[in-house]
Amino acid sequence: MFNSKFGSIPKFYVRAPGRVNIIGEHIDYCGYSVLPMAVEQDMLIAVEPVKTQTLQLANTNPLYPDFSTSSNNIQIDKTKPLWHNYFLCGFKGIQEHFGLSTLTGMNCLVDGNIPPSSGLSSSSALVCCAGLVTLTVLGMNLSKVELAEICAKSERYIGTEGGGMDQSISFLAEEGTAKLIEFSPLRATDVKLPSGAVFVIANSCVEMNKAATSHFNIRVMECRLAAKLLAKYRGLQWGKVLRLEEVQTKLGVSLEEMLWITEDALHPEPYSPEEVCRCLGISLQEFRTQILSPNTQDVLIFKLYQRAKHVYSEAARVLQFKKICEEAPDDTVQLLGELMNQSHASCRDMYECSCPELDQLVDICRKFGAQGSRLTGAGWGGCTVSLVPADKLTSFLANVHQAYYQRSDQNLTFEKQSLFATKPGGGALVFLEA
Ligand code: GLA
């Protein structure tokens, strides 16, 4: 296909995997550690550097049209999350990191098998893959940590205020192990998953593209506002505080204490913009322009108490999950499953990032033998991840298939990618011609 598109052959190939987040949802952008693993599905790009300053992109999937631009004038349209914009994010991130105003051109053919808009991070995999392609074309070197940080930052050109989980695991993943990803400074530690149980991914088939709506950024802003109000309540300098983790670190207290502080400082009723302004002593104008992101300026309701409670409790669950994996007691699988179930309940009730189909799928998975099941990724659609005892796997897959995908009242297209067991895969790689 490369040959028929560009009339030449690729010089090298780059792959970057998608991921499944086992536990720790919507807390990376609050500064807290998360526990994902790479899946084997990935983005793969075939590349030929060219002498002209033209970037030509094609995709093996006919749904994604060809795109071409001059490599020294990269424009990323935030209003439409078109596929090539994710490539441009990675490209621009590297270009800016090295302070280059012009780049050589290239021909790229992109192929991928991560189901899109399903919470398995196909978009970040494309950003990371493009970043590594660009670095390779330039003949430069960066560490995996540097690459992950650059790509996390540059994906925000698309308009979503994501954390760094997806890009970090795409670069830092290693086959056979999940990773605890910690931020500031970014680092990854192996987490050995229990033998005797498997992680199964199931797609609710409700598509959610987080860049196409403001759901995601509203949550980021609610967490930011909660952090500021908590900081102010405890007499800290709240002006520069952006993340809930900063409040905990500045106060030097435990996550459990942060839950109590949240109960004292915030109320469960939603906050209006006026109330937030009164609490912080700022004008509506300052609030909109200096605190909120462009696509959240018209939001009228902020649920600060619920979001902060989710974040602090979820951050604690991640640490407990890692500890149980390390100590490996006899009932490891059951304990991990309980944490995953609690995580789903918190995402559904406190963070409100689930949807009826995900809740239904999680129930079905539990009914047919999962010890734990939860939504994974940003939510509002996409996939669940379930922890299933290995000896129940075959019946689990058959039963879930029948109960969720073969229902007469749901018009779902079941594909091979919809329900599958997964193992921790490896990270991004460059394949050079021998
Ligand atoms: C998306 C973001 C991540 C993370 C998850 C939710 O995948 O890109 O940074 O916030 O949602 O946990």
* pLDDT tens, per residue, the chain with 434 residues: 999 999 999 999 999 999 999 999 999 999 999 999 999 999 999 999 999 999 999 999 999 999 999 988 899 988 888 999 999 999 999 999 999 877 789 999 999 999 998 999 999 999 999 999 999 999 999 999 999 999 999 999 998 899 999 999 999 999 999 999 999 999 999 999 999 999 999 999 999 887 778 999 999 999 999 999 999 999 999 999 999 999 999 999 999 999 999 999 999 999 999 999 999 999 999 999 999 998 899 999 999 999 999 999 999 999 999 999 999 999 999 999 999 999 999 999 999 999 999 999 999 999 999 999 999 999 999 999 999 999 999 999 999 999 999 876 666 777 767 999 999 999 999 998 76
As a whole number of angstroms, the distance between CA 377 and CA 114 comes to 13
Atom of ligand 1 minimally distant from the CA of 24? 12
184 Cα to the center of ligand 1, angstroms: 17
162 Cα to the center of ligand 1, angstroms: 6
As a whole number of angstroms, the distance between CA 33 and CA 107 comes to 37
As a whole number of angstroms, the distance between CA 305 and CA 313 comes to 12
Atom of ligand 1 minimally distant from the CA of 34? 12
Contacts of 269 (CB under 8 A, 6+ apart): none
Atom of ligand 1 minimally distant from the CA of 21? 12
As a whole number of angstroms, the distance between CA 216 and CA 208 comes to 10
- Going by the DSSP 8-state scheme, the letter that residue 174 receives in this structure is B
Q: Is the CB of 166 under 6 A from ligand 1?
A: yes
166, 330, 331, 391: the catalytic one is 166
Closest listed residue to residue 404, CA positions, set 119, 208, 203:
203
Closest listed residue to residue 54, CA positions, set 44, 40, 66:
66
Atom of ligand 1 minimally distant from the CA of 28? 10
Q: Is the CB of 337 under 6 A from ligand 1?
A: no
Helix extents (H) in 234-355? 244-251, 255-265, 273-280, 284-286, 304-327, 332-349
Q: Is the CB of 219 under 6 A from ligand 1?
A: no
The β-bridge relationship of strands 54-59 and 105-112 is parallel
Atom of ligand 1 minimally distant from the CA of 26? 12
- pLDDT given at position 410: 67
- pLDDT given at position 434: 64
33 Cα to the center of ligand 1, angstroms: 12
Assess contact for 265 and 230: CB atoms under 8 A. yes
Burial of 196 (0-12, 13-18, 19+ CB in 10 A): exposed
Question: Which letter, b or e, does each residue of 291-312 get, where b requires 16 or more Cβ atoms within 10 Å of its Cβ?
Answer: bbbebbeebeebbbbbbbbbbb
Atom of ligand 1 minimally distant from the CA of 165? 9
Q: Whose CA is nearest to atom 10 of ligand 1?
A: 26
As a whole number of angstroms, the distance between CA 364 and CA 398 comes to 12
Residue 230, φ and ψ in degrees, nearest 5: -65, -40
Q: Is the CB of 374 under 6 A from ligand 1?
A: no
Q: Tokens 């304990």 label which residue?
A: 335
- pLDDT given at position 77: 86
- pLDDT given at position 409: 67
- pLDDT given at position 177: 98
Q: Is the CB of 163 under 6 A from ligand 1?
A: yes
Q: Whose CA is nearest to atom 8 of ligand 1?
A: 162
Assess contact for 241 and 227: CB atoms under 8 A. yes
The β-bridge relationship of strands 383-389 and 197-203 is antiparallel
Residue 166 a catalytic site member: yes
Closest listed residue to residue 300, CA positions, set 330, 316, 276:
276
Q: Whose CA is nearest to atom 11 of ligand 1?
A: 378
Assess contact for 172 and 37: CB atoms under 8 A. no
Q: Choose one of 166, 318, 374 to mutate for the ligand 1 pocket test, by most ligand atoms within 8 angstroms of C-beta.
A: 166
163 Cα to the center of ligand 1, angstroms: 6
86 Cα to the center of ligand 1, angstroms: 15
36 Cα to the center of ligand 1, angstroms: 11
- Sign of the CA dihedral with 111 first, then 148, 382, and 209 last: negative
Q: Is the CB of 25 under 6 A from ligand 1?
A: yes
Q: Is the CB of 165 under 6 A from ligand 1?
A: yes
Strands in 197-203's sheet, in edge-to-edge order, are 372-375, 383-389, 197-203, 419-422
Q: Whose CA is nearest to atom 2 of ligand 1?
A: 162
Q: Is the CB of 28 under 6 A from ligand 1?
A: yes
